[in-house]
Structure 1
């Protein structure tokens, strides 16, 4: 893990654990919303999809290429966006440390509940997050809105091994 003072200013500002924990919180909320609607039985975000979701959401160019509705197939999106597929797979590797720190931060501050296989969004901080977003930039709000979308979309995309395979992510 790179010491905080050894990170670039961009890493400290854009990929800090608090911001990324809030993004994972939104991913988990989106996933839970869709899983509840579909009646899947398992409503918490699978652990590995936090890394995929972060890669999809945190890179602005990829975020802009996401479909507009969750009815769009992940397989079709991957076929239509081969460069983004590659960027997502690389992003999973590049963001691994960042997402791990975000998960630890989120768990320590009871924003996220982790059990090793699943991630659930804690509801006790929903009001604080809403206040934070109200004072945030348009890009931050867009990032979090897209995180909810990606959580829902990944829920509909299939089992985690299928999602990882479609995106070319090595498990």
Structure 2
């Protein structure tokens, strides 16, 4: 990863660990609201490439009752370029994980499962609408989809990538 001073301002703002961490935490929280199956470490690397990609995010309906595999079948174009996006966001995801672990906002168990922990966070009430609110809402939709989609390898296969 480039140092913060070397990153373009737009990239530094969008991909900062605090914002990406909130996206990941919301996804995991919604996941656990829908299942008791442990959230696996490798699923973390799919969240940001799905949610931060505008073209994909805009196709996701927050109120949808569709399962992820049905939605992907109806929106095959979202898989175009997904592998490259996922690969490019691995360093950002790792940086975000380190940030969340430093804050003790998540805990990675020995079996590779992830738990979120309670922590004091800033009130995001000023972001109840607009793009930030949309990103956070879609992260929750992804968490629900992951909870109901089957195994980690099944989810990776749906997106056309390998862990």
Q: Does 1:61 align with 2:55?
A: yes
Provide TM-score, normalisation by structure 1: 0.85
Partner of 2:154: 162
Q: Secondary structure at the match of 1:19?
A: helix
Aligned-pair CA distance for 1:61 = 1.8
Partner of 1:26: 26
Take 1:23 and 1:68, find their aligned partners in 2: how far apart are those partners? 15
Decide whether aligned partners of structure 1 residues 135 and 123 sit closer, same or farther in structure 2, where only a CA change above 3 A counts. Answer: same
Aligned-pair CA distance for 1:45 = 2.1
Give the root-mean-square deviation of aligned CA atoms: 1.8
Aligned-pair CA distance for 1:70 = 5.6
8 Å contact from structure 1 (residues 86, 167) kept in 2: no
Could you list the structure 1 runs, at least 4 aligned residues long, displaced by more than 6 angstroms after superposition: none
8 Å contact from structure 1 (residues 27, 150) kept in 2: yes
Partner of 1:123: 118
Take 1:75 and 1:18, find their aligned partners in 2: how far apart are those partners? 30
1:131-156 CA distance string (max 9 Å, x none): 1x212362112211111111011110
1:95-134 equivalences under 5 Å are 95-115=89-109, 117-125=112-120, 128-129=121-122, 131=123, 133-134=124-125
More helix per residue? 1
Q: Secondary structure at the match of 1:50?
A: helix
Take 1:88 and 1:69, find their aligned partners in 2: how far apart are those partners? 23
Q: Secondary structure at the match of 2:107?
A: strand
Take 2:81 and 2:147, find their aligned partners in 1: how far apart are those partners? 21
Take 1:170 and 1:24, find their aligned partners in 2: how far apart are those partners? 20
May I ask how many residue pairs the two structures share in their alignment? Answer: 161
Take 2:126 and 2:105, find their aligned partners in 1: how far apart are those partners? 19
Partner of 1:3: 3
Provide TM-score, normalisation by structure 2: 0.89
Q: Which runs of 5+ in 1 are unaligned?
A: 36-40
